[in-house]
Amino acid sequence: MSKDDSDELDCAVCFRRPAIFIDIRWNYGFVIAWRWRQRRVSVCKEHGEEQAKKFLLRSRLLGWLSLGSAETNRETIRMDRAALEGLASLPPASGDPHPPEVRCIECHRGPAIEIRVRYFQRLQLHWRTPLVCREHGETFANEYLLQALHSSDPISWLLNRSAIRQNRAALVALKGLTPPVDNVGRD
């Protein structure tokens, strides 16, 4: 991790610097089906630690629920711990050239909120909790709602009943959000 890397990056959440790339992963199982998600994100110390701890906690709680996932889960936990170690030497983000307003991951406009969307297909959970503006949030939530409404098998159909409620709740929350406005001067 050279100094040059962090000079060019800003945090994907708050747009402050310095930031570094971290690789985080979480692992989850559902009886016999299990999978993991991995993300590479540029983050400041504060937001990196927040994300890495969240991922680590999920793996610790949910990673052991399925048969055969133990080895992958151990790797996952090692990866998240390594991310936390990398962040430990990063100085806290300084300055505040951009308002700490939450912005959409798709268009970088605000206001944005975090929505929770998910669906099950073939016994696998697909989920996301993106920070999105009203416009992109509706795209996400509708896509997940559509998937949840078309279950591939009876168990997924059962599990999708609560997923449908959750995706609809996300759409309701987005309705209360002001449509995005163009940002002033993100350099």
Binding site for Zn ion (CB under 5 A): 11, 13-14, 44, 47, 104, 106-107, 133, 136
- Whichever of 117 and 133 has its CB closer to Zn ion, that residue is 133
CB of 17 to Zn ion, least distance (A): 9
Helix (H, G, I), strand (E, B) or coil at 14: coil
C-alpha to C-alpha distance for 148 and 159, rounded to whole angstroms: 9
- Whichever of 18 and 63 has its CB closer to Zn ion, that residue is 18
Contact 36, 7 (CB under 8 A): no
C-alpha to C-alpha distance for 133 and 104, rounded to whole angstroms: 5
Task: Please enumerate in sequence order all residues whose Cβ is within 8 A of that of 137, keeping only pairs 6 or more positions apart, or say none.
Answer: 104, 112, 113, 115, 130, 170, 174, 177
Contact 24, 77 (CB under 8 A): no
CB of 32 to Zn ion, least distance (A): 37
CB of 106 to Zn ion, least distance (A): 4
CB of 113 to Zn ion, least distance (A): 11
